[in-house]
Each structure stands twice: as C-alpha cells, then as structure tokens.
Amino acid sequence: MSLRNRIIAGGGVALLAVTLGGVSLALADDPASNQEMTGQMTYYNASGYGACGDVVDAATEDLVAVSHEWWTTEDPNEDPICDGVSVEVSYNGKSITVPVKDECPPCDADHIDLSQPAFEKLAPLADGLVKGITWKFVTDDGRRITRPDSPSSSPDDAETPAAGSSGGKGSMGFPSRYAAPYIETWGPSSALGEARAAGLRYATLAFVLDGGGCKATFNGNTPLTDEGWLSAVQGLRGSGGEVIASFGGASGTELALGCDSADALEEQYRAAVDTLGLSRLDFDIEGSALADTGANQRRAEALTALQKDIEGRGGRLDVQFTLPSGTSGLEADGVAMLQDAVSAGLRVSLVNIMTMDYGSAVEDMGQAAIDAATGLHGQLGQIWPEKSDQELWGMEGNTPMIGVNDTEGEVFTTEDASRLADFAVEKGIQQLGFWAVGRDKACPAAGTLSEDCSGTEQSDYQFLKTFSAVNTTAPGSVPVTLPEGVADPLPDSTSKGATPSATPAGGRAGEVPAAAAGSGKTISNAFTTGYTWFDNTPRGSAEISAPVIHDAAGGTGTWEDPITLAVGHTIEGGKDTLDYPAGTRFYMPKFRRYFIVEDACGDGGSPQNGPCHSLESAPEGATTWLDMYLGGGSGDSDSAAHACADQLTGLSTVIQDPAEGLPVTEGPLFADDTCTATYDD
C-alpha cells in the first residue's frame, strides 16, 4: 500500500451566507444536510484504514475525506459523520455523490478531499486543486451535520468547553490507531519537543503521582502547572499532536492510594484534565497498587463520576488501563480490576498490556508481544461479550520495553518493533506505546541495561519512527508517495514497518543517511533560487521527491527542522539520482538557516531535464544550483511569492554538511506575503 499522496491547499475558509426563514446563517458554521456550500477540492490515492474505521483504497474507490472540523466526537470511528453520510459535489456541470469514509486533517471546513477516481470524474488530476466547487452533505434521514463549534450550542458552552471535549484547551483528539510512547516527566520538558522534531505526534506523559496529601503532580514533585511542560504540550498540539496523562507506574505513590475518598480522588483527576486540557487518561496500575481492592474501588468510582459529568456536558473523557502481562495476556488480578471497573459503570476505551519483564528470559520478544495481544483479545471478549472481534482488537494497546529489559535475557529489537507494528495494523490494534522515548537511542555498548539508552543496535528514535508508521491520522501533515525509481532515504524500519494507512504519520523525521555525512565544505559560488507553494506540480501541492525530515516541503530553518531544498537530478535506467544525496544538509549565512535536500528540481513532464540540473542558465561562475522552498499557501499572493523568489535569487556562499549551532533566524523564507530578511554572507 502506498503512502498517502494528499495534494492540499492551505488558507482560510470563505463562508457563504444565505437566508433561511429570515435568519442569515454562515453555512460553514452551522450547516444541515442538503444545504449547499461553496469550496474547493483536492484528491488523494492511499490505502489503509480510514478515519471511520474501515479499510479504504482511495486509488480505486469512490469516497471522500472531509475536514476534521465536521467530527463531533473524540472517537472518529463512532462519529455521526461516519454513519451513512455522503457528499454530493458538483463542478463544471458534473455531479457525483460519494460516501464519507475518511477525515482530512489539514482541510478547512469548506475543503473536501476526494479519492483519485472520484476526483477524475469531475476534473483532470493535473488540476490538483480545484476551487469554485459546490457540495453538500446528503443523509437518508435529512439529519443535520453540525460542526463541534457550531453557534447552535449555548454561548456559555462555546466560551467554556466541557473538560475533555474536543474543543477544550486546544485538544486535537486521537485517531483510530496511533503510537503514543511514554515520555519521562522527571526529565526535561524539552524532550517532548525533541521527540516531536523526530516525528512524535502522540505521547503518554509518565507519570502523575501523589505529591503528598492527595495532590496530583508529575513524579510526586512537579506541579501539573509547570510552565515547561505546559509549553511542551501546547507545542505538540500546535503540530497536530496530543497527549495522554498516565497515572501510576512502578514507583512512587499511586494517586488512588494517596487519596482516602472517591470524591477527593475525582477532584484531583478533574484538576489534571482541566490543567492539561486532556481527553484521555491512562492508569498504569501494577505491583501492590493492583492488589489494593480499596484503591481500585475508589479509582473506579471517581473516574465513573468524572466521566459521566464531562460527557453529560457534551465533552468526552476516555479512560484506559495499562496492566502487567504474561505471554498469554493479562494476569488474573488485572482481569479482576477491569471487571470491577466495568461493574462500577466506567466506560473503558482501551486496555494496554505491558509486554515486558515477563519474569524469565524470553528469546523472541516480538512474538511474545504478539502472543500476549492474542491472549488479551480473548480476555476482553469475556469482559465485553457484546463487542465484535474488530471492536475488541480496537480496544487493545501494546507497550514493550525497547531494547534490553529489566529481566535478564529479554531484548526487544528494532525488528521486533517492525513485526509488532505490522501485527497492529493487520488486527486493528488501537494504540502502540513503548518504554520509553528517553531510551530510544543506542548505548555506547550493546547489551547495556540503562534508563538513557536501549542497549540494542539502532539509530536515534528508530523505535519511534517504526511505531509512528501505524498512525491513521496525523493532523496537519501532508504525506506523499515517493516517485517510481526514487529510493527511500530511510532504509531502516521506517520503510519496513507497518503498512501505511490512509492518513499515516506526519513527519517522517529521520537521521541523515550515512551517504550524506560530510566535512563542512564551503561553496563560495552557489546559485540559489526559490520555489513556492504555487510552483509545485500539480499547482498547490507540497509534494516532494525524497522525504527525510518532512512529508511535504517546509521547514523553519533550524538544525532540527531545516528547510527543504530541491536539487538537480537525472534518471538513467529507471534510477533517479539526485545531485546531492537526500538528507544532505546545507547552511546559508545569507539567510541564517539550515536546509536539507529532499526534493528534485524542475517542472514539467520531464523534471530530470529541469533547469537545476544544468548550470547553463545560471550566472557565470556558479558551481552548484540549490532551489530553496520558500513557503506560501492559498491565502498568500502569487505575485508576492514570486517577487520574494526574485529577491532571494543570486550567487551565495553556502556550507555543505555544516556544524550544528550556527546562528538561525527561525521561520519560513516567505510567509504572510512577506519575504525574509537577508544578511551578509
């Protein structure tokens, strides 16, 4: 199955006001079925699980992905938009009606993303982005399709979203399948930002513990209001991600043990939800806490009350449990705790098993994790007999300890991670995690048990990259398909892991390939030009040839987030060869930014013959040609973007394979119709 090739446009939504019964309404704010809207359309052609939970193939089926703004619940599979809703779209005298099967995270409310064959029935694929379409929702019963932020809600509700709601505190929600590895909150909050730059979209914050006197804190010693962690969480959300707070763990005082009443415990859970803007809580219950029936009862009672209160006010609070596992599934006390929670009236969204530290050496840890998941499936069927096989798999989570485990003889390798990711996609497991992001790098010596590295052979963040490939939705991302003949620049488990879905992970962040390692060479006569959002083929796409850090052309110019560079290339014998290997970094003093080779330069039907490969049209003395991605979008001026490109064109000094830590003016080269400043080389 191919990676999602979404051709997308940014910019604002043009609202269409009409009069219905004397009342003027902005249709994009409060639409009903059979009310016509004006907007734009794009197409995609990937296959995998769509946001409605079904397997889709956008390369062969007629379907539509609509904006995330039409989803009204945290669980996309159960959303009303997935229940028999279609879109009737018209353009240029042609009309089609296609079912809603998927979500388009980057789309505005008036923007629809058709499958490739559906798009072709209305317009040529080469058009890419088509404006001026009309479309409407069509339902069998004529029911209303309303956005969550519709003004039909009470004003008070709009200003103060219920805790746990999709509109609260910037919460983006979770897709139908995702990876949410554990981030150690006793470390620096910057770890979350570093992992985000490496491709993290969803994270589990570990752990919330009692700080004394029934007080929820990180690690028992850091307030939940800590500015560093609040800022890091908002940074992740700003990139389209989301967090889970995990209560408990193997050390410290589990909160239900530190609070002597369900009411006091509920107050602390509510404080965590409100402070961090949470829609999902994880409870890592193990050791003596799992055997404490009194604490289990208080926890279930408190969570049930909080969940009912939040959801009674129009929000949503998902509760999941992370529990010890053997190779055959949950241990008996874990099953008993779940049964008691269900009896208390708690809605449990997910059961996550810790596929680690089985107590004795296990030779094949990947297979052990798969066997444990299979055993859990049967156990969940006994607790929730009314659920289908697919629903039960969708209630599962699986969290190994990467690398060398605490139990001697247990080592979970990168190959094990790929096998588990494949299995998760095959079965529809909802969540993958691992312990822990701070360990996701190699130790100085293999075989080492450490809190700071995995002890197994790997590249930095390799487990994160492998598991993140299972994500079915990555808000804000625009993944692309590598053209035929272009090698994947990440020849590790990122390309060998789970089958990508209809909306896979954003940010295929990766190590610079070994071929790109260099010497800090200074090139004094590089010819730099720029291309924009308007210049891509099809126009308006952010498609690039060889993603390394990004899934689409972009970047802010930092070492961690360099700006995409296009370079010349040739095709011989079906093999595409770039002038510089994908992943080669450059630093340009004139722009005070880092750049990375991810794209092939040249437009038209034969891009290998494009202008960047030949220096014949460059100024005299030019020794190489580098085409920078400037930025831009549908809300920007085309002429302003090209004027910026003209301003940044010329001979410059550049550094190939530069050192880290050079001065940076962070941001795109062109934004809000404004061109960046330039400096002396």
Quick one: 140 and 200 in the same domain? no
- pLDDT for 239 equals 67
Quick one: 394 and 276 in the same domain? yes
How many H-runs (helices) and E-runs (strands) does the chain carry?
15, 34
Token pair belonging to 198? 């490496």
Quick one: 360 and 453 in the same domain? yes
Rounded distance between C-alpha atoms, residue 366 and residue 327, angstroms:
11
Token pair belonging to 236? 């992740």
User: DSSP characters for 243-266?
Assistant: EEEEEE-SSS--HHHH-SSHHHHH
Quick one: 65 and 106 in the same domain? yes
Residue 570 has pLDDT above 80, yes or no: no
Domain that holds residue 58: 17-154
Q: Give strand ranges (E) for 356-400.
A: 396-400
Residue 531 resides in a domain: yes
Residue 67: pLDDT band by 50, 70, 90 thresholds?
confident
Tell me which of 62-71, 89-98, 126-135 is least confident: 126-135
CATH number of the domain to which 366 belongs: 3.20.20.80
Quick one: 141 and 269 in the same domain? no
Q: Which residues are catalytic?
A: 286
Residue 494 resides in a domain: no
- pLDDT for 495 equals 26
User: DSSP characters for 537-571?
Assistant: SSTT----SS-SS-SSS---SSSSSPEEEEE-EEE
- Give the three-class secondary structure for 70: helix
Half-sphere exposure of 77 (CA within 13 A, CB side): 16
Residue 238 resides in a domain: yes
Residue 214 resides in a domain: yes
> Where does a domain end: 125, 154, 183?
154
Residue 526 resides in a domain: yes
Token pair belonging to 19? 């009069």
Is residue 96 within 8 A of residue 195, CB to CB? The reply is no
Distances (CA, A) of 76 to 40, 52, 137, 276: 23, 6, 17, 22
Residue 570 resides in a domain: yes
Residue 537 has pLDDT above 60, yes or no: no
> Where does a domain end: 105, 122, 154?
154
Q: What angle, 0 to 180 degrees and rounded to 10, lies between the N-to-C axes of helices 227-238 and 190-197?
A: 20
* Residue 197 or 489, more confident: 197
Is residue 527 within 8 A of residue 626, CB to CB? The reply is yes
Mean of all residue pLDDT scores within the chain:
79
Which of 258, 278, 259 shows the shortest CA–CA distance to 270?
Answer: 278
CATH number of the domain to which 122 belongs: 2.40.40.10
| Residue pLDDT, tens place only, 468-494 | 988 874 333 322 222 333 333 222 322
Q: What angle, 0 to 180 degrees and rounded to 10, lies between the N-to-C axes of helices 262-276 and 293-312?
A: 50
Rounded distance between C-alpha atoms, residue 629 and residue 533, angstroms:
8
Token pair belonging to 300? 């279930």
Is residue 437 within 8 A of residue 191, CB to CB? The reply is yes
End-to-end Cα distance, the chain: 45
Quick one: 132 and 168 in the same domain? no
Rounded distance between C-alpha atoms, residue 43 and residue 121, angstroms:
12
Quick one: 122 and 223 in the same domain? no
| Residue pLDDT, tens place only, 202-229 | 999 999 999 999 999 999 999 999 989 9
466 exposure class (CB count in 10 Å sphere: 0-12, 13-18, 19+): buried
Q: Which residues pair with 49 in a beta bridge?
A: 55
Quick one: 407 and 527 in the same domain? no
Rounded distance between C-alpha atoms, residue 460 and residue 462, angstroms:
5
Rounded distance between C-alpha atoms, residue 563 and residue 30, angstroms:
39
Quick one: 92 and 48 in the same domain? yes
Quick one: 130 and 165 in the same domain? no
Q: Which residue type, as a one-letter code, is found at position 290?
A: L
Quick one: 425 and 567 in the same domain? no
Token pair belonging to 621? 């003395």
| Residue pLDDT, tens place only, 298-348 | 999 999 999 999 888 877 899 999 999 999 999 999 999 999 999 999 999
Q: How many domains does the chain have?
A: 3
DSSP H helices in 259-322? 262-276, 288-291, 293-312
Rounded distance between C-alpha atoms, residue 244 and residue 180, angstroms:
8
Residue 87: pLDDT band by 50, 70, 90 thresholds?
very high
Region 489-512 average pLDDT? 26
Is residue 566 within 8 A of residue 601, CB to CB? The reply is yes
Residue 8 resides in a domain: no
Quick one: 288 and 306 in the same domain? yes
Residue 608 resides in a domain: yes
- What is this structure's pTM? 0.52
Q: Is the dihedral of CA 201, 202, 207, 209 positive or negative?
A: positive
> Where does a domain end: 407, 435, 468?
468
Region 236-265 average pLDDT? 92
Residue 536: pLDDT band by 50, 70, 90 thresholds?
low
Q: Tokens 């190959």 belong to which residue?
A: 415
